């Protein structure tokens, strides 16, 4: 099987998950300078291919040469990119990939496309957004990811590619990019830990308003869903939500990260940034289809995800990560409806 974007945050976790199942993973990165996937030590092979410049025929030849029966597309652009760059990475790349897959001889290849909750746009408070919800994205990321989803679903309908789209909630865990909110917070806490080790006072953490509610899922849980989607019969042409099925406040999560770090870092919301916000205030996924079709459900607690994130980011000598009761123990079960929005932001 082949993982595209294997040097990225999710691609590395996905490669690990397949390797743990004994799969022979062919890892594809944009160029040879990309980070080696975690699973490389367990038998995966890494090949540099720029999917935006390599002709689809050459990509098809590569896929045929390695005997690809499953391709996971974890490539794309999310952080520190403008709409044109996101269009290239999230829409044009998918079109080129589908064109390549259609040229590989033999039966259609299973393509697992990683979509995003941001394709939906706003969800209704206290209600989980299901796969039949009409997408109305309000961000460049959501719009361009939706274009990629539509390309895969058209190819699946034409039976030229056995495509399935996983619409992922906001993903957190070890290695989260610094361009994301959680990566930014982790980087600040790492700097605060280094300052503390020098006997200096930690700088305050200044963030945009943290007034939204989001669904958040652990990277390892997301990777497990990818493995299930790659191996389950009868899901071609489907969109399947992957999340925790609850809306969590960003402010709650950020405060939790700080508490788990054991660092005395004040969190300050910069209200002036509110006027420039274009994202939505509430997102919660209905994940019942994933349970029904894939036999999948999230297994990691929010605290486990945050501890993994912090352990990977903080200097090892300063990582405390303990002494605070698990936030999951204070929350409603995953199958229970969330009764009120809480502060959260991506």
Which position has the higher pLDDT, 32 or 319?
Answer: 32
Cα 132 off chain centre by: 21
pLDDT at 319 over 90: no
pLDDT tens across 222-234, in order? Answer: 999 999 999 999 9
Total tally of structural domains belonging to the chain:
1
Q: State the CATH number of the domain containing residue 299.
A: 3.40.50.720
The total of other beta-carbon atoms located within 10 Å of residue 199's CB is 6
pLDDT tens across 191-215, in order? Answer: 999 999 999 999 999 999 999 999 9
Q: How confident is the model at residue 275 (pLDDT cuts 50, 70, 90)?
A: very low
Compute the mean pLDDT over every residue in the chain, rounded to the nearest whole number. 88
Does the residue 80 lie in any domain?
yes
Does the residue 174 lie in any domain?
yes
Does the residue 88 lie in any domain?
yes
pLDDT tens across 49-74, in order? Answer: 999 999 999 999 999 999 999 999 99
Contact indicator for 97, 163 with CB cutoff of 8 Å: no
Averaged pLDDT, 17-43: 74
In 3D space, the residue among 261, 262, 74, 102 whose CA is nearest the CA of residue 171 turns out to be 74
- Stretch (H or E) spanning 218: strand 216-218
Does the residue 343 lie in any domain?
no
Averaged pLDDT, 312-327: 61
Give pLDDT, residue 248: 95
Contact indicator for 215, 169 with CB cutoff of 8 Å: yes
pLDDT at 340 over 80: no
Q: Collect all residues with Cβ–Cβ distance below 8 Å to 125 and sequence separation of at least 6.
A: 213, 282, 340, 341
Out of 16-25, 225-234, 276-285, least confident range: 276-285
Give pLDDT, residue 11: 96
Q: Which residue out of 18, 141, 282, 296 is catalytically annotated?
A: 141
Averaged pLDDT, 137-164: 97
Averaged pLDDT, 300-322: 83
How much of the chain, in percent, has pLDDT values that exceed 90? 79
Averaged pLDDT, 301-321: 84
pLDDT at 337 over 60: no
pLDDT at 41 over 70: no
How much of the chain, in percent, has pLDDT values that exceed 70? 86
120 is catalytic: no
pLDDT at 137 over 60: yes
Out of 189-193, 207-211, 279-283, 326-330, least confident range: 326-330
Does the residue 327 lie in any domain?
no
Does the residue 331 lie in any domain?
no
Q: How confident is the model at residue 321 (pLDDT cuts 50, 70, 90)?
A: low
Give pLDDT, residue 37: 47
Does the residue 344 lie in any domain?
no
Does the residue 346 lie in any domain?
no
Radius of gyration of the chain, Cα coordinates, nearest whole angstrom: 20
Q: How far is CA 150 from CA 117, 135, 248, in A?
A: 14, 11, 28
Q: How confident is the model at residue 323 (pLDDT cuts 50, 70, 90)?
A: very low
pLDDT at 166 over 80: yes
Residue 145 belongs to domain spanning: 2-313
């Amino acid at each position: 099987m082949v993982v595209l974007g294997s040097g990225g945050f999710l691609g590395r976790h996905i490669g690990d998950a397949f390797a743990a199942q004994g799969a022979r993973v062919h890892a594809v990165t944009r160029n040879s300078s990309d980070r080696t996937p975690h699973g490389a030590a367990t038998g995966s092979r890494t090949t540099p291919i720029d999917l935006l410049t390599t002709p689809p025929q050459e990509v098809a030849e590569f896929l045929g040469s390695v005997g690809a029966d499953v391709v996971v597309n974890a490539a794309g652009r999310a952080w520190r990119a403008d709409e044109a760059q996101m269009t290239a990475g999230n829409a044009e790349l998918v079109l080129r990939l589908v064109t390549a897959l259609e040229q590989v001889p033999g039966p259609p290849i299973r393509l697992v496309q990683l979509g995003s909750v941001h394709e939906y746009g706003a969800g209704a408070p206290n209600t989980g957004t299901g796969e039949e919800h009409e997408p109305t994205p309000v961000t460049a990321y959501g719009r361009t990811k939706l274009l990629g989803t539509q390309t895969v679903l058209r190819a699946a309908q034409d039976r030229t590619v056995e495509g399935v789209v996983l619409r992922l909630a906001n993903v957190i865990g070890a290695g989260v990019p610094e361009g994301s909110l959680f990566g930014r917070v982790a980087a600040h806490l790492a700097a605060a830990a280094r300052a503390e080790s020098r006997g200096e006072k930690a700088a305050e953490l200044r963030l945009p308003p943290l007034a939204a509610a989001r669904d958040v899922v652990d990277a390892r849980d997301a990777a497990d869903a990818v493995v299930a989607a790659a191996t389950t019969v009868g899901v071609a042409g489907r969109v399947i939500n992957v999340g925790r099925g609850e809306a969590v406040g960003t402010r709650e999560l950020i405060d939790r990260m700080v508490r788990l770090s054991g660092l005395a870092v004040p969190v300050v919301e910069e209200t002036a940034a509110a006027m420039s916000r274009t994202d939505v205030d509430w997102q919660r996924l209905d994940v019942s289809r994933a349970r029904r079709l894939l036999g999948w459900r999230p297994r990691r607690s929010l605290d486990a995800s945050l501890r993994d994130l912090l352990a990977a980011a903080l200097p090892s000598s300063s990582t405390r990560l303990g002494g605070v009761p698990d936030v999951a123990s204070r929350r409603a079960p995953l199958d229970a409806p969330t009764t009120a929005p809480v502060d959260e932001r991506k």
